[in-house]
Amino acid sequence: MAESTDAAITIGSRIRRARRTKKMSQATLAGFVERSESWMRGIEAGRINLDKHSVIDRLASVLEVDVAWLLGQPFEFGQDNGHDAVPVLRRALRRTSITLSGGSVHPKTPRPLLTDLRADVDRITRRRQAANLFEVMRQLPELTESLNTSALLASGVERDVVDGLIIETSHVARTVLNQLGYHDLAWTAVENAATAAARLGDPLMSACSAWDRCGVLLHTDEDDEAFMIAEAALADLQDLMTAPTPQVLSLWGALHLRCAVASARHHDAPTAWAYLAAAEAAAARLGVDRNDFQTVFGPTNCGIHATEIAVALDQPDIALKRHAGIDLTVLASKERHTRHRIEVARAYGQLKRDAAAVDQLKRGAHLAPQYVYNHPTVRDLVDELCHRAQPSAVDAGLGAIERAITRST
């Protein structure tokens, strides 16, 4: 048994705190990392040092906390915030555009195996859904160049597989670049996905790329264009709805959610709720939460969007009522969970219940600090809360959130 240290006690207490928050037993948590209950008791008591990084990563994932928080390390956003990777990623995305349009560029990396590419795309997707923005940004340029090389050299079925991987990776790039404020690059990524989808000739991939385009447009407040693109994609899917597969239903529902959000932002309540109802009908047909094409679509995501729609319509009471009916424990995506906390915080802010808004932001930051502190909606909300400076909000930790946002800039 390793000698007890202050660090071991700190890690153990954080694990215990996060485990209790998840209402999970020591035996259950130990099972997730293939350890015994007595081992877990020793870890939490600080009698055993936790020094194996793979186990730390697994515990953080199961407990839905960040590794740095688990280790008690402060977040130094200014030192490693993902922005340093942008110039090389910009070049890689430009090369993707040239390659997909039929241009010939010299490969930057050795040709990887398709199985390795598949594993790399799955890995970066998991990290994106865990809202680990900076780790994703570190990996995106190299993965993009590897896909570029494969797209240049592959043919036939292999080329189709590579194009599909480019579409998946473009989605990851879009979401992270939007979050960090590089909307022009996010658009480049989704246009690359659209070109790859056109090469494939797959209507589902085309609908997926349309859904991603809407994501960029909604992020930049181009709500009318997002609505039109989603509507056009729905029309293209109409024939497939005669006997839809789960994948068709997922895209059908996800595109209806895009229309609902766009309508809500225009304060068109009847249209927004009608599109949400159509999405909920698709989710009911699925019966479970899925993640086809990284849409995270299902009944839970519909509930999350209902909260967002109500906030956009300035109906905070409805937003909080819908929030109360959501079981967030079934949601696999930490990113969607965290985004929902932000929307709930906005609802409390609309009601001027500022301490409750701060609490929701803290809950989100506990899950994914990079995501919360870099989110433009959070910045706007915190500015509003700081302007009001309600004593209860200050006591709840508003100043700490403001400082964390400042460090992330």
For 314-362, the pLDDT digits (tens) are: 999 999 999 999 998 888 788 899 999 999 999 999 999 999 999 999 9
- Residues 149 and 108 sit within 8 Å (Cβ to Cβ): yes
Q: Is the dihedral of CA 213, 215, 221, 226 positive or negative?
A: positive
- Pick out the chain residues at pLDDT < 50: 1-5, 74-79
Residues 6+ apart with CB under 8 A from 91: none
Round to whole Å and give the CA distance between 44 and 154. Answer: 51
Round to whole Å and give the CA distance between 292 and 59. Answer: 26
For 14-25, the pLDDT digits (tens) are: 888 778 767 788
Placement of tokens 């349309």 in the chain: 210
Round to whole Å and give the CA distance between 382 and 399. Answer: 9
pLDDT of residue 60: 79
What are the start-end ranges of the H helices in 181-222? 183-200, 203-219
According to DSSP, residue 3 is labeled P
Domain regions of the chain by residue span? 6-70, 75-201
pLDDT of residue 136: 92
pLDDT of residue 110: 79
According to DSSP, residue 4 is labeled P
Q: pTM (2 decimals)?
A: 0.77
Round to whole Å and give the CA distance between 204 and 246. Answer: 11
Which secondary-structure segment (H or E) carries 350? helix 334-350
For 128-137, the pLDDT digits (tens) are: 988 888 889 9
The fold of 6-70 is 434 Repressor (Amino-terminal Domain) (1.10.260)
What are the start-end ranges of the H helices in 220-333? 223-237, 246-265, 269-286, 299-312, 316-324
- Residues 141 and 89 sit within 8 Å (Cβ to Cβ): yes
According to DSSP, residue 397 is labeled T
For 287-315, the pLDDT digits (tens) are: 999 999 999 999 999 999 999 999 999 99
The angle that helices 53-63 and 6-21 make with each other, rounded to 10 degrees, is 30
